[in-house]
Chains A and B, each alone.
Chain A
Amino acid sequence: MQFHLNGEVRLVASALLGAAVLVSPVHAEDIVLKMWTLDNSGYKEFIAEAAEAFKATHPNVTIEHQIFPGDPYKTALKVALVGSDGPDVFFNWSGDRAKQLVKDKLALDITDFGNAPGGFAKVLPEGWLDAFRYDGRLYGVAADAVSKYVFYDKAYFAEHKFEIPKTLGELGNLCKAIRKIDPNTVPMPLGNKTRWKAIHWMTMLNERAMGVAGTAADYDLSRPADQLYTDPGYAKAFQALVDLQDAGCFEDAPNATEYAIADSMFATKASPMEYCGTWCTSGLDAAGFTDYGFFRLPLMDGGKGSFDANFLVPEGYQVSAKSAHPKEAVEWLSFLVSDEQGLKFAEKVQFLPSNAKLVDKAQGVPASFKDIARDVGTLKQGVNVLDALLESTVADAYMNATVEVLNRTLTPDQAVGKIREAALAAQAKK
């Protein structure tokens, strides 16, 4: 038995509520594009200025930009896309969430608009287009990507003559050395209360243990059930995390520490290192801390990972299947990833734009930003983050398992067992 919910609800709703609240009248030729994004610093100004610039070619299009805080955005977006007053274009992460919207036919196939003259598909490199490509069709425009590095306090390193570690083992030793100087110094605070900090670690530790190719079939659940998540590398990755914890790298209660507090421990030089995202630079900037360096997460001894692979999460925009103006919507998105706007984006938001042609010309950004952009440019392999990439229940199990490993309530093997359990259940549902 199947029936459509929306029709029923709409009937009931309109019957009971009768006259709806009047919407402000829109001139027939005027087009209002509603755009939803996260509330990253600088985002608002960037969109506002871009919308103004867009008027030059599209004088009748007004952009109505709405911003949301992080976690609630995920909920609000989903319900809004089902509802009546959803956005025309919206921010999304590449990964399972975007895939789900494609599956539920809420995200529009924008391949044809994208391939039109001046369309984003003509501008962005294939690798970036992959971020929102499903079954060969494009369902979104990658706008930027975030990566992660181990940030370190240059002065502190110089003072104690520390070297940049080459392996995870060396990183552990570094932590021990720091603790020896002052046992109260947390070498690299984790801040895993909201669970995504450690899952970022696991994203890269898995790569360092097994390489991107080794995990792909587990991540998309395409491996046969009897082999799913059976690679000993998963346990090894967890063990690496445990080893670092044993080496005293993290604070005592990582699962009770807010990410913001971990960030500020590094920003205030209370801690000499932090594994932090590219988004951290603006915060460090704001805290007046500029004398820092960064390095990629070191390799694992005996691991299959590649130093050319690093954390890289593409983010971008999708178009609602319900949008009344898909053509204008895609033109707007294409405009946002044009060369000039890519530069503006880098300057205002300080994230790495998908269109990085002019990034070197960026003004008013910290020097580290350009360094990081340059480093990202040398990557051969992007590693997408587990909580966006995995099916949601598996991602949840992964995050919880990581929490428990850090709490020492699960051994690495037990943790992998839990993840495998969730993966099998998810695979069975597919």
Chain B
Amino acid sequence: MTLRARSVAIGLHAFVSLWTLFVLVPVFVMVISAFKSQAELFTRPLALPRQFSFAAFERAWGIGISGFLVNSLLVTALSVLFIVIASSLAAYVLARSDKPVMRWVYVAIVAGFAVPLQSVMVPLYQLVSSAGLLNSRLAIALPYAAYGIPFTTMLFYTFFLEFPRELEEAARLDGCGRIEVFFRIVLPLSGPVIASAAIFQAVFNWNEFILALLMLTKTDVRTLPVGIYGLTGQYSADWPALMAGLAIATVPLIVIFLLAQRHFVRSLAGLGK
């Protein structure tokens, strides 16, 4: 390697390393803050805690984090299930139909992607409320699913366009009806895209805040973000407990991300097509 190439390489390494460090610092601050007392957190923000105290975790846990965790898992799993089923079915029909009306159906579904949640929050709330679905973990999974469907439908749509049609035709010749083709041939072979969609939507729904704040008002049905937000009271905030709660909510996602990294990457690759 020439000197110039070497110095360029070092420069590139430095740039990436700096950004990586920049990314890590807040996460580091979050984690170490969770082990400090309020006073230590404010007086020695960047230092390691003098002693690792789990008191903040206990306080965070004390407001019912375990329950929030379960609720978040439930709501996320349910909504992701809805999203995958509804989006894959719809995207399949859209990708395989040549009816002009389907073009409009596609536009209608994808248009949902452009609707910002906060612009429809009130009508949405009134709708859910009128239907008597407030404070139901099932109920919140429905709007979550609705907001995940446009994106996921697009994802599936591109996947299905590239899905080898001969397989479906072979199955039709083998005696499968439309639904059978879908469930016996297409879906079993859509593993990667299902994984991608599921992971993406799981991240969104796990972190969703506003709808959960409005619709899950009972303590025992609240999800993690709302529950943690509850650590800031009317006139006071317990920052170490807040950070501990954030850590508890964040670490599972990071672990899932580390485990399922290649699915993320693959779905991003799919997006770019």
Contacts and interface: CB of A to CB of B under 8 A. Distances in A.
B123 interface: yes
Contact of A6 (B126, B134, B235): B126
A267 B130 contact: no
A16 B129 CA distance: 13
A24 B41 CA distance: 44
Interface residues of A, number: 49
Interface string B109-150: 000000000000011011111111111101100000000000
Contact of B130 (A13, A38, A41, A67): A13
A41 B238 CA distance: 11
Given A23-B132, A268-B43, A260 B139 contact: no
Nearest to B231: A69
Given A21-B136, A39-B230, A68-B230, A9 B130 contact: yes
Interface stretch (B161-169, B189-197, B211-219): B211-219
A233 B97 CA distance: 73
A82 B122 CA distance: 10
A224 to B, nearest CB: 36
Contacts of A72: 213, 229
A84 B132 CA distance: 6
B251 interface: no
B90 to A, nearest CB: 17
Given A9-B126, A267-B39, A70 B232 contact: yes
B234 interface: yes
Contact of A66 (B123, B128, B217): B217
B139 A9 contact: no
Contact of A38 (B42, B139, B214, B233): B233
B239 interface: yes
B170 interface: no
A84 B235 contact: no
Contact of A82 (B129, B231, B235, B237): B129
A9 B38 contact: no
Contact of B217 (A16, A80, A146, A270): A80
A267 B38 contact: yes
Interface in B205-255: 213-214, 217-219, 229-237, 239
A369 interface: no
B233 A20 contact: no
A125 interface: no
B134 A83 contact: yes
Contact of A76 (B39, B214, B232, B239): B214
Contacts of A20: 131-133
Interface string A1-45: 000011001101110110011010000000000001011110000
Contacts of A270: 42-43
B234 A40 contact: yes
Interface residues of B, number: 36
Nearest to B43: A268
Contacts of A36: 217
Interface string A77-97: 001101111000000000000
Given A9-B123, A20-B131, A85 B234 contact: no
Contacts of B231: 69
A120 B189 CA distance: 68
B130 A264 contact: no
A183 interface: no
A10 B237 CA distance: 39
A277 interface: yes
Contacts of B38: 264, 267-268, 287
A70 B131 CA distance: 27
A387 B136 CA distance: 34
Contact of A258 (B123, B127, B237): B237
Nearest to B229: A69
B131 A265 contact: no
Interface in A240-279: 258-261, 263-265, 267-268, 270, 277, 279
Contacts of A277: 235
B50 to A, nearest CB: 14
A52 B194 CA distance: 50
Contacts of B233: 38-41, 69-70
A283 interface: yes
Of the candidates B127, B218, B219, B236, the one having the most CB atoms from chain A within 10 angstroms of its own CB is B236
Given A85-B134, A260-B232, 8 more contacts: A12-B127, A13-B128, A20-B133, A21-B136, A66-B219, A69-B234, A79-B122, A84-B134
9 smallest CB-CB distances across A and B, nearest first, come from A83-B129, A85-B134, A260-B237, A10-B130, A20-B132, A13-B130, A70-B234, A13-B131, A268-B39
Interface of B: 38-39, 41-43, 122-123, 125-136, 138-139, 213-214, 217-219, 229-237, 239
25 contacts: A9-B127, A13-B131, A14-B131, A16-B131, A17-B133, A23-B132, A40-B234, A64-B218, A67-B219, A70-B232, A75-B213, A76-B217, A79-B122, A79-B126, A80-B134, A83-B125, A84-B131, A146-B235, A258-B237, A259-B235, A260-B236, A261-B42, A264-B42, A268-B39, A270-B42
